[in-house]
Structure 1
Amino acid sequence: MIRVLVVDDDFMVARVHRGFVERVPGYAVEAMAHTGAQALAAIEEHRPHLVLLDIYLPDVSGLEVLRRVRESAVPVDVLAITAARDVATIRTALRGGVVHYLIKPFTFEVLRDRLDRYAAAHRRLAGDGDVAQDDVDRLFGALRPARISLPKGLTAPTADLIRTVLMAADGDLSASECADAAQLSRVSTRRYLEYFVEAGTARVRLRYGGTGRPQRRYLWTGP
């Protein structure tokens, strides 16, 4: 069984997430916590495999919890589940090694998909010994939603960053707005945005101004 710690400051939301997890075969909720201090204590006591970590906590940020866990070298994985949509928070969470980042609200089906992917990766890492590159590719692929092969010149980390920016946006973004949020060049950002449109995970909205060509604005459609 994959043992889980659910961390959320809202008692009712924590219960809902616990119910979601317990509906997924192979998972068991070990404990729940509602503050950062409780989360750190529960991680130390229960040593779960996976923590569903809220970012907004009443005492310390979930990002601080993540930082302390990484400094302590406790062998635990973290899946961020939060209403935090700002790029700075998302960047910090990604750099802290979260296996995924889910923005509230979400459905049971969305969480189940991420847990199924995590379970597949968890099984692949259960043994010892060396692995080949194909095994590594399958492992990392299990933690991410399926996508078509990237065109030449585009990289997976940058695609993941721009994808996260689009998902966190309240509505559509222009290439310039997305580039500013991701701290990338507009030309490079637009290439990724057009790739997402071609892949069917984003769509374009045209905004007409007074003169000139309409502005292309991009909206994430999933998954």
Structure 2
Amino acid sequence: MGIDVIIVEDDPMVLELHRQYINQVKGFKVVGQAADGKTGFNIISELRPQLVILDVYMPGDNGIDLLRRVRTEGLNTDVILVTAAHRTETIQQGMQYGAVDYIIKPFTFQRFKKSLKSYQQYIEQIRNNQQLTQTDIDCLKGVVSTESHLSSLEELKNSIPKGLDKATLESVLSIVKEQTGYFSASEISKLVGISRVTVRRYLNYLCDNGWLKGILSYGPVGRPLHKYIKDDSFSF
């Protein structure tokens, strides 16, 4: 059984980005969208989706207002908040009203996908189990030891997933090691001599294991650009 999703986002470019990201994650289906809180509430009330991807700052009722109304009306819908707001008060309000996750703009596809997959795991656990152990609950809440990250270069090279090549990873690492500040997959691909799409797979592998941090950089026109930066916690 798939998970129906509604997107509530006033920026058309970001809304389309959400749609593309959701379509790339198996098991999720976009069934509706809205550009403001009032319309969003009406669609949620009508379609009763399992999940809403909700922006905080919108014209009229903002995302927190909409989330509060959803809870007041007793609608059985989960919400992932997506916003550029970093204020502790806003984040706290979102959590108090039951947001299952809070994604800060700009963000990577990997972070967005992680949120969806975690929610999918939560739904599957709820559907398949009448009782949950403490371990089950910890996993659902994202309580994961940092030891799960591959903390050494040897572990990183020897644990690469199927489809990635150790020699290519070493080439990418040697170039990344020399970078300062943010860089893109296109920049690395030119230096390594392989395609941007291939390089991005290796950079995302490094992101998944904490060696890189990724963001989306929004320019004045065009699609947002994926950028990366080294995590100072690891030694390349």
TM-score by shorter chain over 0.5: yes
Match of 2:179 in 1: none
2:60 corresponds to: 59
**Percent identity over paired residues:** 36
CA distance in structure 2 between the aligned counterparts of 1:20 and 1:148, rounded to whole angstroms: 26
Report the equivalent of 2:25.
24
Which residue among 144, 147, 165 is the counterpart of 2:145? 147
Q: Which residue pairs with 1:89 in the alignment? A: 90
- Aligned with 1:43: secondary structure? helix
Q: Provide the secondary structure at the position in 2 that maps to 1:32.
A: strand
In structure 1, the residue matched to 2:77 is 76
User: How far did 1:139 drift?
Assistant: 2.5
1:128 CA displacement? 5.7
SS for the counterpart of 2:140 is helix
- Aligned pair in 2 of structure 1 residues 134, 107: CA closer, same or farther (>3 Å)? closer
SS at match of 2:114: helix
Q: Could you say what secondary structure the match of 2:31 adopts?
A: strand
Native 8 Å contact 2:80 2:101 kept in 1: yes
1:125-162 superposed Cα distances (whole Å, 9 cap, x missing partner): 11463333333233323xx6x3349xxxxxxxxxxxxx
CA-CA distance at 1:72 after TM superposition:
1.0
Q: Say if 2:45 is the partner of 1:47.
A: no
Unaligned residue ranges in structure 2 (runs of 5+): 148-209, 212-230
Contact 2:80/2:99 (<8 A) preserved: yes
Match of 1:36 in 2: 37
More displaced stretch, 48-57 vs 105-114: 105-114
TM-score in terms of structure 1 length: 0.63
Note if contact 2:3-2:50 (Cα within 8 Å) is conserved in structure 1: yes
Correspondences of 1:141-220 after superposition (within 5 Å): 141=142, 146-148=144-146
Q: Please tell me the root mean square deviation across aligned C-alpha atoms, in Å.
A: 2.2
Within 2, Cα distance between the matches of 1:104 and 1:135? 29
Q: Which amino acid aligns with 1:102?
A: I
Q: How many residues align?
A: 151
- Name the CA distance, whole Å, in 1 between partners of 2:65 and 2:232: 31
Q: Which runs of 5+ in 1 are unaligned?
A: 150-199, 202-219
- How far apart are the structure 2 equivalents of 1:104 and 1:125? 29
Q: Please state how far the C-alpha of 1:59 moved relative to its aligned partner.
A: 0.7
Query: Residue type matched to 1:33 in 2?
Result: A
Hey, what's the Cα distance between the residues in 1 that align with 2:113 and 2:57? Answer: 22
**TM-score normalized by the length of structure 2:** 0.59
Name the counterpart of 1:166.
Answer: none
In structure 2, the residue corresponding to 1:130 is in which secondary structure? coil
Q: Which residue of 2 aligns with 1:118?
A: 119
Q: Which residue of 1 aligns with 2:110?
A: 109
Task: Work out whether residues 78 and 100 of structure 2, in 8 Å CA contact, stay in contact via their aligned partners in 1.
Answer: yes
For residue 127 of structure 2, give the secondary structure of its aligned residue in structure 1: coil
Query: Amino acid of the residue matched to residue 124 of structure 1?
Result: Q
Match of 1:133 in 2: 134
Once the two structures are TM-superposed, the CA of residue 44 in structure 1 deviates from its matched residue by 0.6
**Letter of the 2:94 counterpart:** A
Q: Which amino acid aligns with 1:69?
A: V
